[in-house]
């Protein structure tokens, strides 16, 4: 069974700092990996999707990498802003099902 | 374009009551999912559907039922509610489960069973 782990569970950084969130998974047979943002009391919004054949994806200040062989992905956020404060979840797809990590709660301090 | 719409947003049930959580999407997506999110536990898949008339169990299906009579709607039925079903429930959809397709979520239903 696929297990997805995210470290750290919580992170607090000053505004402007670059930061890295980590995601690891146990089974490398995946279709894709997605990073999501969840604001309190809201649903999840997909930020980046990396297909299993890709190494990274970029959107604005966000860059996600995927190393399928080692079962790891990172989400890099450049020049963090208070508006980036949220919970970030990663999820791997095996086709019909997605397996989610428990998330990293990020606080960016002004 | 509303995306994925869930109703109600909040609900309190008494033990043993039943209810249906509604989910509708207007993106003509074939794949739809129901997840529950418990504090600190991540999202767990309850049921999913790959098209109208087709449903299958996820990780935690006990105590729930689903139906998919149309492409747009995917209701989740709770029979004989129990305190263990207190959770936040999310409905999600994707076009056809392809490797380059993102997952779209509704805003959730917060359910308390007392």
End-to-end CA distance of chain A: 41
**Mutation choice for B interface testing from A40, A96, A103 by most B CBs within 10 A:** A96
Give the separation between CA B106 and CA B93, rounded to whole angstroms: 9
Which residues lie closer than 8 Å to A13 by C-beta, 6 or more apart? A19, A80, A106, A107, A108, A109
List the pLDDT tens digit at each of the 114 positions of chain B. 679 999 999 999 999 999 999 999 999 999 999 999 998 788 999 999 999 999 999 999 999 999 999 999 999 999 899 999 999 999 999 998 777 888 999 999 999 999
Per-residue confidence (pLDDT) for residue A95, from 0 to 100:
77
Q: How far off is chain B from A15, nearest CA to CA, in Å? A: 26
Please give the residue of chain A at the shortest CA–CA distance from B46.
A97
Report yes or no: B89 at the A interface, CB cutoff 8 Å.
no
Chain A residues lying within 8 Å of B27, measured CB to CB? none
Model confidence pLDDT, tens digit, residues A4-63? 999 999 999 999 999 999 999 999 999 999 999 999 888 899 999 999 999 999 999 999
**Which is it for strands A56-59 and A4-7: parallel, antiparallel or unpaired?**
unpaired
Report yes or no: B45 at the A interface, CB cutoff 8 Å.
yes
Report yes or no: B90 at the A interface, CB cutoff 8 Å.
yes
> What DSSP string describes A24-67?
EES----SEEEEEEE-TTS-EEEEEEEETT-SEEEETTEEEEEE
Per-residue confidence (pLDDT) for residue B41, from 0 to 100:
81
Model confidence pLDDT, tens digit, residues A79-101? 999 999 999 999 999 877 899 99
Per-residue confidence (pLDDT) for residue A65, from 0 to 100:
97
Per-residue confidence (pLDDT) for residue B39, from 0 to 100:
83
Chain A residues lying within 8 Å of B106, measured CB to CB? 43
Per-residue confidence (pLDDT) for residue B1, from 0 to 100:
65
Q: Which residues pair with A69 in a beta bridge?
A: none
Q: Which residues pair with A38 in a beta bridge?
A: A44, A87
């Amino acid at each position: 069974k696929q297990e997805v782990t995210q470290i750290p569970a919580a992170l607090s950084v000053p505004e402007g700092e670059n930061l890295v969130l980590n995601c690891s998974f146990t089974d490398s047979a995946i279709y894709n990996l997605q990073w999501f943002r969840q604001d309190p009391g809201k649903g999840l919004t997909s930020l980046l999707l990396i297909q299993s054949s890709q190494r990274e994806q970029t959107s604005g200040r966000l860059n996600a990498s995927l190393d399928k062989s080692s079962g790891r992905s990172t989400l890099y956020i450049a020049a963090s802003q208070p508006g980036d404060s949220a919970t970030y979840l990663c999820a791997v797809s095996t086709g019909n099902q997605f397996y989610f990590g428990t998330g990293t709660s990020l606080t960016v301090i002004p | 374009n509303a995306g994925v719409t869930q109703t109600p947003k909040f609900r309190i049930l008494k033990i043993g009551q039943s209810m249906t959580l509604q989910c509708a999407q207007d993106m003509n997506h074939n794949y739809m999912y129901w997840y529950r999110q418990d504090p600190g536990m991540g999202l767990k898949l309850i049921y999913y559907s790959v098209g109208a008339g087709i449903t299958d169990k996820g990780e935690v299906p006990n105590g729930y039922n689903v139906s998919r009579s149309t492409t747009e709607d995917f209701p989740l039925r709770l029979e004989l509610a129990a305190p263990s079903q207190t959770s936040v429930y999310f409905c999600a959809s994707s076009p056809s489960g392809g490797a380059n397709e993102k997952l779209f979520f509704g805003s959730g239903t917060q359910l308390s069973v007392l």
